């Protein structure tokens, strides 16, 4: 007997066949047949009703980043679809595997400016790995299989399926499908054996080698292989923002964060090392600073799965293409055990300077008001450095990245390349579904929280156990810092008149507490962590605090400011 079903039902079965259990979405007219089909799959497909489609995409990102699975969004056409654009772009630049499924008008109405019609494929092609319009019901299993394969293979990224309404309601004969090959698509490039030997020879001869750890290590699940690599060759490492939890904070070879607001040692020694080894990172401008002065003294080795990243920003001497879970092992086998104690000890002087001039004043401020850094560190310590850190964007992001500590992989979720304010709250919701076994702490500023404040409704409905820490300084803090440093303290539209967040939390039935002093802080954190379910902790921090050190825009990576 033939299995004749609608395209909408085929989508449900295809998602189940791909192993999907969680969907973030928002219904509407052009996707209504799919939501009707979803009604009969509620026991196998858990749909999380967000309050805005952008929230759906960020929640899917948070889910994907902590779980290693593909995040899924389901939205309607027109404004529902266009509301996902920021999340799709964010997922693309940060290599996050998500599949966005959007309703579309019936094919007979395409090109007529029909109600809520928009050319979603045309809009999203430049910001996705693949964007496809499903016009026939019989194409659903193939399109879904292809979408999931593309999203999660090679360098991950977002895929968009634009689902015409007629294809949702028309009938087709359903056969489940999975793909593991697409002609002309090579997700993992072939590794050049000669490059492996060249890389090993450079590292074996190095006196001052240094590793830059990127998110590619996390995406490739190569954390163990990375540790074996750096330990055998005794190489100090710095981590990008996105790669911070690929290496435990306490690892003796982990020298801290790279970039504009990174740690002094790894940034300065980038311009002193003789061999620079980049693993799964893209030489972002926030990491390199002025390219004209970046690591000119070093031989550069670049491990990456994406050939497009080789020589894109920084000319390299050896390119090791392939999956770093495999290529790191291959090079490690060719390495001679080494010791670089004098080179590793050279980081200590920079650590002492940063500790005295930046870290100690931030964690133990002399003033009466709380600092952002001390709040972050107190939460990290209270969770035994074992929580998932989610951040919004701005000073809260840089402070939490710097002062939170990481003991397990996939423990930081943040908007890196796009820098999307409003990312934090919905991403944290998604993370609680992706790893229900872990504590999820999201740090937000008063500006970023209000960008997607409506997702407190999702928290309320789902009772999502998000521990929300609002670092409230009544400013758009990061922009204010730049105005203070580079625009003569002309605070043009950065002061914030804020609402009473305690009343907002009460309206959403979320337990909350506001603290002004460090004497109140520890008890409030303990109450937050002891609360079953969500909690909002508002920490009223010093208004004009600054994130330091800082490489000024256009400056060299080794010319970091320690004070404003």
pLDDT band at 42 (very low <50, low <70, confident <90, very high): very high
Which three-class secondary structure string do you get for 410-459? CCEECCCCCCCCCCHHHHHHHHHHHCCCCCEEEEEEHHHHHHCHHHHHHH
pLDDT at 1: 52
How far separated are the first and last CA of the chain, in Å rounded? 75
Confidence of residue 515 (pLDDT cuts 50, 70, 90): very high
Q: Per-residue confidence at 2, pLDDT binned at 50, 70, 90?
A: confident
Average pLDDT, the chain: 97
Q: Which residues, 6+ apart, have CB-to-CB distance to 17 below 8 Å?
A: 176, 177, 178
Element holding 288 (H helix, E strand): helix 285-288
- Angle subtended at Cα 505 by Cα 55 and Cα 81, rounded to the nearest 5 degrees: 15
Q: Which residues of 177-213 are buried (b: 16+ CB within 10 A; e: fewer)?
A: eeeeeeeeeebebebbeebbebbbebbeebebbbbbb
Residue 368's pLDDT is: 85
Q: Is 426:452 a contact under the CB 8 Å cutoff?
A: yes
| Adjacent-strand bridge partners of 469 | 443, 537
Q: What is the pLDDT of residue 32?
A: 98
Describe the crossing of helices 53-67 and 424-434 by its angle, rounded to 10 degrees: 50
Q: Residue range 160-182: average pLDDT?
A: 97
Mean pLDDT value across residues 445-471: 98
Sign of the torsion angle spanned by Cα atoms 179, 180, 183, 186: positive
- With H, G, I as helix, E, B as strand and everything else as coil, classify residue 160: strand
- For residue 78, which of 138, 33, 31, 137 has the smallest C-alpha distance? 31
pLDDT value for 102: 98
pLDDT at 367: 81
- Using pLDDT thresholds of 50, 70 and 90, give the confidence band for residue 58: very high
Q: What pLDDT digit, counting tens, does each position of 112-125 carry? A: 999 999 999 999 99
What pLDDT was estimated at residue 72?
Answer: 99
pLDDT tens per residue across span 399-415: 999 999 999 999 999 99
Name 161's bridge partners: 101, 132
Per-residue burial over 294-316, b = 16 or more CB atoms within 10 Å of its CB, e = otherwise:
bbeebbbbbbbbbeebbeeebeb
pLDDT tens, position by position, 323-370: 999 999 999 999 999 999 999 999 999 999 999 999 999 999 988 899
Measured distance CA(155)–CA(130) in Å, rounded: 13
């Amino acid at each position: 007997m033939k299995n004749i079903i609608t395209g909408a039902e085929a989508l449900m079965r295809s998602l189940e066949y791909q192993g999907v259990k969680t969907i973030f979405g928002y219904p509407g007219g052009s996707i209504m047949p799919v939501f009707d089909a979803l009604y009969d799959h509620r026991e196998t497909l858990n749909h999380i009703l967000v309050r805005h489609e952008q929230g759906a995409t960020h929640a899917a990102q948070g889910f994907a980043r902590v779980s290693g699975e593909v995040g899924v969004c389901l939205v309607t056409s027109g404004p529902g679809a266009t509301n996902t654009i920021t999340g799709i772009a964010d997922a693309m630049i940060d290599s996050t595997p998500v599949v966005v499924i959007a309703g579309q008008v019936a094919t007979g109405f395409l090109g007529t400016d029909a109600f809520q019609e928009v050319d979603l494929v045309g809009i999203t092609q430049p910001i996705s790995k693949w964007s496809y319009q499903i016009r026939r019901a019989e194409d659903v299993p193939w399109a879904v299989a292809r979408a999931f394969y593309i999203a999660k293979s090679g360098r991950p990224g977002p895929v968009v399926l634009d689902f015409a309404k007629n294809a949702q309601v028309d009938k087709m004969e359903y056969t489940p499908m999975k793909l593991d090959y697409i002609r002309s698509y090579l997700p993992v490039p072939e590794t050049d054996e000669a490059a492996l030997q060249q890389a090993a020879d450079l590292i074996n001869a190095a006196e001052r080698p240094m590793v830059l750890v990127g998110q590619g290590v996390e995406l490739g699940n190569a954390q163990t292989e990375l540790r074996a690599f750096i330990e055998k060759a005794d190489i100090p490492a710095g981590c990008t923002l996105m790669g911070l939890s690929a290496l435990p904070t306490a690892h003796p070879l982990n020298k801290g964060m790279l970039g504009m607001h990174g740690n002094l040692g790894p940034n300065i020694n980038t311009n002193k090392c003789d061999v620079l080894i980049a693993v799964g990172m893209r030489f972002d401008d926030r990491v390199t600073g002025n390219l004209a002065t970046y690591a000119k003294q070093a031989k550069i080795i670049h491990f990456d799965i994406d050939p497009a990243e080789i020589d894109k920003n920084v000319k390299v001497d050896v390119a090791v293409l392939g999956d770093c879970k495999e290529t790191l092992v291959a090079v490690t086998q060719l390495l001679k055990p080494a010791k670089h104690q004098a080179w590793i000890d050279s980081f200590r002087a920079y650590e002492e300077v940063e500790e005295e001039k930046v870290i100690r004043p931030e964690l133990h401020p002399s003033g009466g008001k709380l600092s952002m850094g001390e709040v972050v560190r107190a939460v990290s310590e209270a969770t035994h450095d074992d929580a998932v850190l989610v951040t919004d964007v701005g000073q809260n992001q840089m402070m939490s990245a710097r002062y939170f500590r990481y003991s397990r992989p996939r423990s930081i979720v943040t908007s890196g390349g796009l820098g999307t304010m409003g990312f934090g709250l919905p991403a944290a919701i998604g993370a609680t579904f992706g790893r229900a076994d872990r504590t999820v702490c999201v740090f937000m500023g008063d500006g970023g929280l209000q960008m997607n404040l409506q997702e407190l409704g999702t928290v309320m409905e789902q009772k999502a156990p998000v521990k929300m820490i609002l670092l409230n300084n009544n400013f758009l803090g990061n922009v204010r810092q730049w105005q203070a440093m580079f625009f003569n303290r002309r605070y043009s539209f950065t002061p914030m008149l804020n609402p009473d967040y305690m009343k907002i939390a009460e309206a959403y039935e979320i337990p909350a507490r506001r603290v002004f002093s460090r004497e109140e802080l520890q008890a409030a954190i303990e109450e937050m962590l002891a609360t079953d379910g969500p909690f909002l902790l508002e920490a009223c921090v010093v208004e004009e605090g600054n994130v330091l050190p800082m490489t000024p825009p256009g400056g060299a990576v080794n010319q970091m400011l320690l004070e404003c």
